[in-house]
Structure formats: C-alpha cells, structure tokens
Amino acid sequence: MPSVELNKTIPDFEATATGDQMVRLADLRGRNVVIYFYPKDDTPGCTTESQDFRNSMPAFTEHDTEIFGVSRDGLKSHDNFRSKFELPFHLISDQDEKLCALFNVIKLKKLYGKEYMGIDRSTFLIDAKGVLRQEWRGIKVPGHVDEVLAAVKAL
C-alpha cells in the first residue's frame, strides 16, 4: 500500500473507532480532518497530547474540523482512555496497522537500550476535499496542538 503524500488526495479508508463508530474518510468530505497517531493509551505524553486536543476542541469545531486519535491499542483500552479523560473525539483502533502503514508512522525506536517497532508520534491535516495539507512527524507534545490549530485556521 502506498503511503500518503503532501498535497495529494488521501486514499479512502475505513477504520473502527470508539463508540461503535466506523470511520470512513469519504464520509468526512466537506470537513477538515486532523488525525494524530500516538504510541499508547494512558501514558504521560499521549495523555497530555490528547488532553491538549480536548481542550482546543471548541476552536477546531469552530473551524469545521474533526479530530481522531489513532494507536494500536484495542477498543476497550480506547474506550477507557476516552472516558477517563473525557475526550470529545473518537479514537481509532489500528491493531492491524493498516492506517499506520498508509501514513508511514511505524519506526524503529529505542527505550532503555531495547529496539522495537513503534508509532512515531505524528499528526496529519486533511482538508475538506480529502487532500493532505500538512504533516508533523516525530513531534514533541508541548505547543503542538497550537501549531495544528494555526494550520487549520490558515486553510
């Protein structure tokens, strides 16, 4: 499967999300979409990033933008994470790594001297026509959501 490219239309995809939702990119045409990939539910950086998106949700909504978080965690973990932190957007479970492959976010990582394949924290902004307008890879959490919101406002 080819991966996404800036200023190109994202191939339609279908993914299972919290709340028994089936997310289809084609169904979101006419709205901007922010998809952020994060390594794991309920870990410090991922929690902070998700809370930052939650706290900025009114501004994203004002600019007709949907937000989805994606990790390889299962739906039960996502439901618990979403409920615990009162996240107003859905979380997509990508256990088969199809979305991770499409967006090319699986990278070799190191933790305590061990190497493993994991999600590289990344965010993608798709415009109302389904075109990838901006991507952030290997991001640091502080200030990131503000950058994404600024990009949304600039569309």
The 8-class DSSP code of residue 126 comes to: E
Q: What pTM does this model have?
A: 0.94
Coil, strand or helix at 55: helix
User: What dihedral do alpha carbons 118, 39, 41, 65 form, nearest 10°?
Assistant: -140
Among residues 25, 46, 99, 102, the one annotated as catalytic is: 46
**Portion of the chain with pLDDT greater than 70, in percent:** 99
d(CA 139, CA 122): 6
100 tagged catalytic: no
The 8-class DSSP code of residue 26 comes to: G
Please identify which residue in the block is written with the tokens 């909504």: 61
Please name each of the domains of the chain with its CATH number.
14-154 (3.40.30.10)
Q: For the chain, which residues score pLDDT lower than 50? A: none
